[in-house]
Amino acid sequence: MEVRRQRRLKSRRPLRLPDSARWTYDELRHCQMGYERLMAWGLEPAEIPLGTYIYESAAGEDPIYLLGMLYFFETKNIRHKPARAQLFHSYGDALSEHDMDFDWADETMHAGYGKQWLKELLAARGQDPTAYDQVRERCEKLVRDYVSTATAEDVARD
């Protein structure tokens, strides 16, 4: 009887996303750093495109792909960050270089969070927790398919 009770309680346990508050705070800080840099460069807020394609790409899909999008985007551009920081350095823009280095360090941690969260969710669903890269690959395809539907008018608008 006790074993059944423990299984039932375990199956109802909510999915924990350790470090999600830290991730959220970091992303807020990245947005703030980027916004401040764009304002310093003289851009007006109305000139800054805000794309929602990340989430629109997964609309109507299994909710795991919404979490998968976070992992996909955290891992997608990491390799470009050091080169971008170096470009800012070459322009003499030390603050943007610093921000990019900071962002790179955070994104490296965030990719680890996404992997951990997907593994935990897959396990909670009774699926293979090592299949997190399959979720990422599906997200990459969803984004590619969604972006391919953009019209010239969409591109001009953004």
Q: Does a structural domain hold residue 19?
A: no
Q: Does a structural domain hold residue 135?
A: yes
Q: Does a structural domain hold residue 66?
A: yes
| pLDDT tens per residue, range 88-146 | 999 999 999 999 998 888 998 999 999 999 999 999 999 999 999 999 999 999 999 99
Q: Does a structural domain hold residue 103?
A: yes
Q: Does a structural domain hold residue 77?
A: yes
Q: Does a structural domain hold residue 17?
A: no
| pLDDT tens per residue, range 23-65 | 899 989 998 999 999 999 999 988 887 788 888 999 999 999 9
What is the spatial distance between Cα 71 and Cα 118, in angstroms, rounded to a whole number?
8
Structural domain of residue 60, as residue ranges?
52-150
Q: Does a structural domain hold residue 36?
A: no
The mean pLDDT value for 63-85 works out to 92
Handedness of CA 49, 50, 54, 58 (dihedral sign): negative
Residue 42 falls in which region: left (phi positive, over 0), alpha (psi -120 to 50) or beta? left
Residue 58 C-beta-side C-alpha neighbours within 13 Å: 20
Residue 67 C-beta-side C-alpha neighbours within 13 Å: 21
Q: Does a structural domain hold residue 24?
A: no
What is the spatial distance between Cα 147 and Cα 53, in angstroms, rounded to a whole number?
8
pTM of the model: 0.78
Tokens of 106: 């955070």
What is the spatial distance between Cα 112 and Cα 78, in angstroms, rounded to a whole number?
12
Tokens of 117: 């969260």
**CA-angle at 98, arms to 22 and 28, nearest 5°:** 30
Number of structural domains in the chain: 1
